[in-house]
Amino acid sequence: MSPSLYGYLSERGPASPEEIASGCLGLGDLNGEARSVVERLVAGDPRFVWEGTLLRAADPLGLSLHEAPYVVFDLETTGSSAREGGITELGALKLVRGRVVDRFCTLVYPGRPIEPFVARLTGITDEMVAGAPPAAEVIPRFEEFAEGSVLVAHNASFDCSFVAAARGGCPLPNPVLDTLRLARLLVPGLRRYRLSALAAHFGVRQAPNHRALADAAATAGVFLHLVRLLRAAGVGSVGEALALRGGRRIPPQKHHLAEGLPASCGVYYFLDGAGRVLYVGKAKNLRARVRTYFSGGDGRRKIRRLVEEVASVRFRNTKTELEALLLEAREIRRLAPRYNTAGRGEERRWYIGFSRAEPYPVPGRVSSEEASEDLLLLGPYRSAGMVDACIEALGRIFPLRRCSGEGPPCLYGQMGRCAPCTGMGPGEYARRVVGGIAALLRGEEEERLDALRRERDRLAAALEFEAAARLRDLVSGIERLRLTRVLGTSTTPLAAVAPSTESGMVEVFAFAGGALLAHGSFEVEDERGLRGFAARARKVRRSGSGVDEARVVLSYLRRRSGLVEVSGLDELVAAVRRVGKTSSMVQ
């Protein structure tokens, strides 16, 4: 019997929920609940398709490019061919509907020395891989991770040859898309098609650095841009993308509009023939970013219409990327350009909601359109993904309802993580669980979050890096929700402190009600300068731009370092010292 549901259905064919429950899951008779159990198990997983009352494994080739699950992966090797060399590191990201839902990363013992040049290039040494698992252990785990998904790699034949060699010459059964081949078909005219060149061309945030997970992330960013190009060119399914042989290219146009732009940071404006602003964007390199629009570099139908209407391009230089981000948000709010879908006042908001009608309500994501008096709502927040990560983390912190509580304790109840199973009554649940979640998101109940942090650190110390990374992301989700909420709603000036890109320096941002009051860079021991900054920030009147500048700044800081601390202006000196100390420890 296959150990996985996907493998079970692939071998057996379509099956009823009752057959799956008994034949694959080993659950026996579920008293009519088999359908609901299986539905929860496969919810949101595009690898499974319901056909009436039967569930089957989806054929990846028949799935649409948007719906198909992808595993984007990269290998580092000892430096020679698959026949003579070995794998030293494997990193992979699982993408579902454009979002990263899982990660896989491990060093691998190659069984032979790493070539000196490769060691210098990747930073991976013989000593680092000496205690790592061999490919014979890693590849089966990776095969399980990628089961039922479409594999994606840059110069895929190279990576796939090493995987096949580790499997005794047998390649994985998954279909494979190669970003190198797709880029050559869809983005003609580039001087180079290396991963770093494509990442720069598309403006991908993660730059490749010759480490497996980082390079997989860069490949994923490039691939998502290529998927937009494929869909714009009329390619709808994975099978159609695999069958491409050339000739379906998006013609370049209006290159001359990018010629006068500087290769510097700033904000650009696309205008129509009447001088009306159609679109506002920001870029680290204005010329390179704007060129992508006129070289088929995006491919979305909306962008094609935009390019057809653009008659001229204006720009404003900024000194830093952060200034460009803030200016972009303010200009979108002020001008409301027709082709901008973010930054408008009417954009969708998200809440963490609890049903008032249930004795043991569990948190769920609720959109602003779904909000009603029947729900207790915490929020609002701007990111659905961030809310989902937070809800998953809450399930690890609080004993949420996992079953009806009737009968013997469920699996979670045996671990003390199901309130009805532990004997907790509805009143106590409302106080301890619902009230505790609200307090945690207000910035209280810090000891509960500390427990997750300790578990994350324990897993990392035990070399369980995948589990540790997942907990890290969950903790980060809660921290981001809390920081965004606090800085966006507090009428009292607060400071956000983060390490600077300059060694020994920190950056300080003062906010009130989401508006940026002041910003400065300081040495960690510059107590006088920090007190002067706090005094000036207290005197600044809030701007009326209507932009949640705290959200923009926090997003920028977390992409850059991830370390951000919020404090009152009176505690600013102590907060700066803590951030400086923590930053020096991790550098």
Say whether the peptide bond before residue 380 is cis (omega within 30 degrees of 0): yes
CA dist 294 and 299 (Å) reads 10
CA distances from 477 to 80, 97, 377, 484, 510 (A): 41, 19, 18, 11, 22
Our answer to whether residue 519 is catalytic in this structure is no
Give the distance, in angstroms, between the CA of residue 513 and the centroid of all CA atoms in the same chain: 27
Task: Answer yes or no: are the C-beta atoms of 478 and 388 closer than 8 Å.
Answer: no
Report how far residue 66's alpha carbon sits from residue 227's, in angstroms, rounded to the nearest whole number.
Answer: 8
| Cα 234 to Cα 220: distance, rounded to the nearest angstrom | 21
Listed in order, strand segments (DSSP E) in 318-359 are 350-355
Q: Of 210, 225, 255, 256, which residue is the catalytic one?
A: 210
Choose among 181, 138, 184, 174: nearest CA to 156. Answer: 181
| Distance between CA atoms of residues 378 and 360, nearest Å | 17
Structure tokens at 31: 């008293």
Question: Within a 10 A sphere around the Cβ of 236, how many other Cβ atoms?
Answer: 14
DSSP letter for 171, please.
Answer: P
Alpha helices for 89-211 (secondary structure H): 116-122, 126-129, 135-145, 156-166, 179-186, 195-202
Contacts 24+ apart (CB under 8 A), 248-254: 248/185, 248/186, 249/185, 249/186, 249/188, 249/296, 250/186, 250/296, 250/299, 250/304, 251/296, 252/188, 252/189, 252/294, 252/295, 252/296, 253/294, 253/307, 254/294, 254/307, 254/310
Angle at 88 (CA atoms; ends 86, 93), nearest 5 degrees: 115
Q: Tokens standing for 466? A: 């995948």
- Amino acid identity of residue 473, one-letter, is D
DSSP category for residue 250: P
- Cα(496)–Cα(482) distance, integer angstroms: 13
Name the one residue in this structure whose structure tokens are 């698992």.
133
By annotation, the residues acting in catalysis are: 210
